[in-house]
Amino acid sequence: MGKAPIITPQSEDFPKWYQDLLNKAELADNGPVRGTMVIRPYAYSLWERMVSEVDARIKVTGAENAYFPLFIPESYLHREAEHVEGFSPELAVVTHAGGKELEEPVVVRPTSETVIGEFMAKWVQSYRDLPLLLNQWSNVVRWELRPRTFLRTSEFLWQEGHTAHATSADAGAYARRILEEVYRDFMVNVLAIPVYVGRKTADERFAGAINTLTLEAMMKDGKALQMGTSHELGQNFSKAFDISYQDGEGNRQLAWTTSWGSSTRMMGGLIMAHGDDRGLIVPPRLAATQVVVLVVRHDDAGAVGAAAKTLVDELESAGVRVKLDDRVDVQFGRRATAWELKGVPLRIELGPRDIAEGLGTVARRDTGEKIPMKLSELAGTVAPALERIQNELLSAATISRDDRTHDVSTVDEIFDAVEGGFARIPFASLDEAAITRLSDRGITVRCIQTADGEAPEREDEPGLIALVAKAY
């Protein structure tokens, strides 16, 4: 009888595999209130890396970080009718505080367009104050009926950017810049996840927006995951909150605003885009621990421990994020399996026999390949190996996604195509009745694209392609 797998195989039950991995790799637990989550230290270290990488890119675009209140007067949301209608089912509302009923209920922040709009109106007076480019890292609450850790939770962590501009063109260009230079660059070059770029249909765009740009990724089970969005809000919120400025001729003008965000949903994307039946696989550029030096067992002379510490020092000096695991009181196999579950890109295993031969065994997490190497050469070969792994992960994910994206010409062909993949169909082929048929089967238009795979300027451009899939 074979050894039982540590986690459920993906092919057997993908949702169970996902839940097993969260538990066994010590990534997250369910919180005490339904729909909330506890992010455990290892997963939080990955989130910190995501924050650092995304934040650096945001700052390059000129946005500055600020912080706005968690509690928002309920009346703020009612100023923009489409916005409040879109969020009403998800709102958490506080009616009592300090032992008394509040004169006005307050909403626990579902997103901050309204409260930031209030302060933009206060801070923007002249065209010289524009563009106003703000970002905040915070938590938000959207009461989730069908929670799933990292993917849909009632409380989650995110960044939300909010900007005000003098012209529609400037706002539109900035929204695209965020999508491409911040989100797409991070997801492709750090997360090693290829993404489709597109524009949401009117039915799918953000409540209160005139345009929503999106990045859609394919998970290993063929479903889509929305990884980041950037919205042009037009003048809707400017009208609601009087975000206006005096132009160069002394006339009062309404500003044009944008908002954009990415969240801990990226953790779910990381898990489901790269993970396998042995656990998580973390791309080296993201990994908080890129290499673990694993002592198999110590020798009487202490040579193994000394060699391990020397190697760790050399790797740290080379800029590698490395951890030493010399817990020989814990069985070696158990430790190796634990690091494998956590997806650390490289393990270097050292034991008495290795040291006697001047060798170390390098194990790649992505391929499972094990290669004996000279100890004297290890420090110099690790960095190139990590880059090789990064590139190969992106390549493998891209090939898999492309192989499972099917061009179809009729609605009926979509149903087969989205069982384990995406479908592409001329957008003109999807009338309201077709979209309803798809929706009844849990299939949505993830985005629309130009023929060359970019986000169109308008939804009514000729020759557009619709990307269709089942989604998380």
285 in any annotated domain: no
State the pLDDT confidence band at 198, using cuts at 50, 70 and 90: very high
* Rg of the chain over all Cα atoms, to the nearest angstrom: 25
What per-residue confidence (pLDDT) applies to 1? 41
What per-residue confidence (pLDDT) applies to 387? 98
Q: Do residue 127 and residue 191 come from a single domain?
A: yes
Q: Label the pairing between strands 244-246 and 370-374.
A: unpaired
What per-residue confidence (pLDDT) applies to 85? 81
What per-residue confidence (pLDDT) applies to 278? 97
Q: Do residue 185 and residue 218 come from a single domain?
A: yes
Distances from the Cα of 272 to the Cαs of 21, 168, 215, in angstroms? 10, 37, 16
Looking at residue 252, what DSSP letter applies? E
Q: Do residue 213 and residue 326 come from a single domain?
A: no
Domain that holds residue 245: 14-274
Per residue in 109-125, pLDDT (tens digit) is 999 999 999 999 999 99
What per-residue confidence (pLDDT) applies to 3? 60
Per residue in 401-449, pLDDT (tens digit) is 999 999 999 999 999 999 999 999 999 999 999 999 999 999 999 999 9
Supply 376's token pair: 């004297």
282 in any annotated domain: no
Q: Is the pLDDT of residue 131 over 60?
A: yes
Q: Label the pairing between strands 64-65 and 132-141.
A: parallel
Average pLDDT over residues 324-328: 96
Q: What is the dihedral of CA 107, 112, 116, 118, to 10 degrees?
A: -40
d(CA 455, CA 452): 9
**What is the H or E stretch that residue 236 is in?**
helix 236-241
Q: Is the pLDDT of residue 2 over 60?
A: no
Supply 198's token pair: 């597109």
Q: Do residue 206 and residue 235 come from a single domain?
A: yes
Q: Answer yes or no: are the C-beta atoms of 281 and 365 closer than 8 Å.
A: yes
Residue-averaged pLDDT of the chain: 96
Q: 166-171 contacts: CB < 8 A, separation 24 or more?
A: 166/127, 166/130, 166/131, 166/245, 166/247, 166/253, 166/255, 166/256, 167/256, 168/232, 168/234, 168/256, 170/131, 170/256, 171/232, 171/233, 171/256, 171/257, 171/258
453 in any annotated domain: yes
Q: Do residue 53 and residue 177 come from a single domain?
A: yes
Average pLDDT over residues 278-302: 95
CATH number at residue 141: 3.30.930.10
State the pLDDT confidence band at 4, using cuts at 50, 70 and 90: low
Q: Is the pLDDT of residue 370 over 70?
A: yes
Q: Is the pLDDT of residue 472 over 70?
A: yes
Percent of the chain with pLDDT strictly greater than 70: 99
Q: Is the pLDDT of residue 84 over 80?
A: no
